[in-house]
Structure 1
């Protein structure tokens, strides 16, 4: 900062004020100082200022997978909102591991984020204690936890899957299998599987056609392997629901390899409204959980709370997923 002051012919204090948008610094002087700093390659260090103002200007976000297009869309939506107000995202990847999430929470809280956004509502007991004691807004997304830590932006994965089953039953399908959701680490997948079982039982149908795909995330390869098991062990199945569109697309390709007509012989549906659902042949019936909207709402909630609006009580923003019908399960 001293180097910039000497080069610009001003005091160090004026340089500091120029980078903090202090109204006491004339616009011409501010522009001159910043141009000088640019030429010198200087970047203003706002750490001390942020500590004094109790602001870090970033929001911590933890997602289960950086490879998921849906979670990426949520982060983009969140970034769009908070970056417009001068804040940035600090991203952590839990890899569907609550123990790793706990470590990330510990590390991120040490950096004094203004808020922390989590994916899902299930955490280790220590993680919950850390979050409750953090003294910052905590927003859980992609779920409707029974005991939220603070604020929530999400939907019921179980209830949404029940709606998918209801559609398949209404369209005449009775022997329906579910692919995925067997790993305890994927809590949202487990909730979808639970919703499938509950819906099948409510319709008086067999709910035991469950084929696991192992550790998350779900993939097209795992979906294809699971479909092989379905066709080998459950030959009477007339519909299959994937825990995600990736698993469903894998199942669809296996049907094509074995000459199974979709949807004439077996209807196939997914979850998530990934791009692959709309471009596959036939296109996949799926559930659009509106991941970008989850991000937008979360961003608006964070800013509202930081502005002092509604910070004293939990806010619950429910997302309404949309059933998107297509050729694979009309």
Structure 2
């Protein structure tokens, strides 16, 4: 019985650095160097240590290592939602690029509430991340103060301003709105319906559209505001509400491709041809946009580049590499397709 208890204790005990050293036939100090600073250890020795780690099932104590190096190897990323590819692609790109640099992503979904974002970031800061990625540039004063006081590198994404908290990778929503307005006016449209979500970035795009329409002077428009997150069902109900108003429309401008797809479906149920009877414009160039029938005219944002550039900026600054340009405008491309 005693031998069985001892065996159970041996099985349940977590492998230690000393266990790895014995398995590798090396000193604990050499094993520690191979795990924490492999660049100064011979490759053959590192390989031997990693094989011993695999055999013993040893899991390094990253917290202990971070206390010594003041590095957690964690990057906190806060996004409003991940239920569409708009943010998913950027998060995946961030994760891939950070992994190459030896960092891991700690993802949180904050919704569109400033209070929720502040609470989440406060919790993340207690985990001592090496850097933070925030979505957008509109944050409350309490959050900005907390981040600035930590001195951590920060990258804001999906927006543009000359005065970010620290660094920024994004694009101008107002310029996108301008481009949409000019494009549709050049197509001869003058009566517009908006199917729009009430978030700051979407509203900036709408402002950009309206600035162009107001300069034209002979345009009419009507709104159908829908809640977040955007869905095809909301696109359908949004167009349904616009059509019930009794107004006639040349073009429907949607704050996302998802809403645009729903609007196209709803137009078809009313025997309206897209774009012959009514044009539909989206935003985001999501994966289905080019494959839809009709293919959706939209605005392409290089979501992967946002993630890649944000990860590079953060990793460089954490590691002391000079950051020559802390504000990156990735621009946008208007994708002319069949729907408008």
Q: TM-score normalised to the size of structure 2?
A: 0.89
> In the alignment, which residue of structure 1 is the partner of 2:270?
258
Q: Distance in 2 between matches of 1:114 and 1:125?
A: 22
Unaligned runs of 5+ in 1: none
Q: Distance in 2 between matches of 1:134 and 1:302?
A: 15
Q: Distance in 2 between matches of 1:289 and 1:221?
A: 24
Q: 1:25 and 1:255, CA in 2 relative to 1: closer, same or farther beyond 3 A? A: closer
Aligned with 1:38 (options 42, 54, 59): 54
Verify the 8 A CA contact 1:165 1:199 in the aligned structure 2: yes
> In the alignment, which residue of structure 1 is the partner of 2:77?
61
Q: Distance in 2 between matches of 1:22 and 1:79?
A: 22
Q: Distance in 2 between matches of 1:23 and 1:115?
A: 23
Q: 1:145 and 1:99, CA in 2 relative to 1: closer, same or farther beyond 3 A? A: farther
Verify the 8 A CA contact 1:248 1:268 in the aligned structure 2: yes
> In the alignment, which residue of structure 2 is the partner of 1:249?
261
Q: 1:310 and 1:4, CA in 2 relative to 1: closer, same or farther beyond 3 A? A: closer
Aligned with 1:209 (options 189, 198, 222): 222
Q: 1:29 and 1:310, CA in 2 relative to 1: closer, same or farther beyond 3 A? A: closer
Verify the 8 A CA contact 2:175 2:208 in the aligned structure 1: yes
Matches within 5 A, 1:58-207: 58-145=74-161, 147-181=163-197, 183=198, 186-206=199-219
Q: Distance in 2 between matches of 1:242 and 1:320?
A: 20
Q: TM-score normalised to the size of structure 1?
A: 0.92
> Is 65-74 or 40-49 further displaced after alignment?
40-49
1:21-63 deviation per Cα after TM superposition (whole angstroms, max 9, x unaligned): 4567554444333323212211112222222222122221111
Q: Distance in 2 between matches of 1:30 and 1:156?
A: 47
The secondary structure found in structure 2 opposite 1:180 is strand
The secondary structure found in structure 2 opposite 1:320 is coil
Q: 1:300 and 1:242, CA in 2 relative to 1: closer, same or farther beyond 3 A? A: same
> In the alignment, which residue of structure 2 is the partner of 1:283?
295
Give the deviation of 1:267 after TM superposition. Answer: 0.4
1:115-167 deviation per Cα after TM superposition (whole angstroms, max 9, x unaligned): 11111011122111111112011111101136421111111112201211110
**Corresponding position: 1:224 with 2:236:** yes
Give the deviation of 1:309 after TM superposition. Answer: 4.1
